[in-house]
Structure 1
């Protein structure tokens, strides 16, 4: 392997390992809503991998700030698709084994294990554990299911913030916005500012920010259809 590529892959795996706790935190938000925790965790890992690959530190936000909406977006996609996450049989079996090992380590350690600890317990390379957790390589799909509409459950209607999580995961859509609109979205959803804080930063009133934000979200949703 090219040493440069190997170095990049190693950094990627390390970053994913260091931030795997974000996936657990997000998965706990959806416990008891009809989808198994392991499936939520797997979908969240896909989101984390996407976030790590697309993250640009020069944007001035933390990886965690950028990644959480992407992770939540992948989990919400699970509910919309009836809980269907397509993976190869081998990868699914490995994922189940990792799930059992994780449960044992949680009991033994009193906390969530790291990827390194999981790999050591299972006597597997870390990259193989990461691959099973992320399950991000083609032809995996979160937008196709074996049966249309089967097994779905009713969830509370998404707020604009929830719906925007999917938009943020498609960073190129946000990049197409006008400069001021993109700045508004970045301040509200990347930097976590309130509408009042955003208004002060952009020289607008809170009412103007609220109205403009609503319009921008509508535009973004249309572009994703």
Structure 2
């Protein structure tokens, strides 16, 4: 892979020796090792490159989800890689947050900024306009009925659609949000402007998108690994809270998370 690091400054005389090859490819191990080294240590660059290489399959997988929308695949892959590098450079392992939980939204945010920075001379397809309006209406109705933000599965059941069709409507509107925000959607009294429908991100939708995208890979994990990932990333529990729920130590939860994420990375690497 092309070198992605800048030339390191001279190491401090008392800097500890470290062979990066002695570490596993776990992003947590690599980033913890980086954090333990002083700025300018010659091993930091090698550790950073290995962390980037280890997690590029995840970045490529997320880039693939945004393909087919008028942007070259190579540009999307490069943008996702930039997001990954930002995540690696800004990640602080002392905060107790898993790297994947930090990297995924960082990469997705970079991809969405890429689309927002482009101006396309196209109109939103009418089918997507109508689908997005139906989803918006269902979201408002279910919010009142359920007393919480509906999931993609809730909306799909309400509209008698598949989850993939609902996600298409959600992602389609986002992908085309560089279109003039005065683009009309709907007819008559129901007519509104696209800009009125592109508000803040709904975390439930974002999590549901990730469930669908990672579904086949998650199916390869055993029941306990799936439960731990669900509690960590969908339930937003800390490792200590997960340990208390399933009756093991926090250290054991950390090892299980690392093992499960390594399996996922292997599945993604084999697919994309």
TM-score bin (small chain) = 0.3 to 0.5
- The answer to which structure, 1 or 2, has the higher relative contact order (CA under 8 A, 6+ apart) is 1
Q: TM-score, normalised by structure 1?
A: 0.40
Q: Which has the larger radius of gyration?
A: 2
Q: TM-score, normalised by structure 2?
A: 0.34
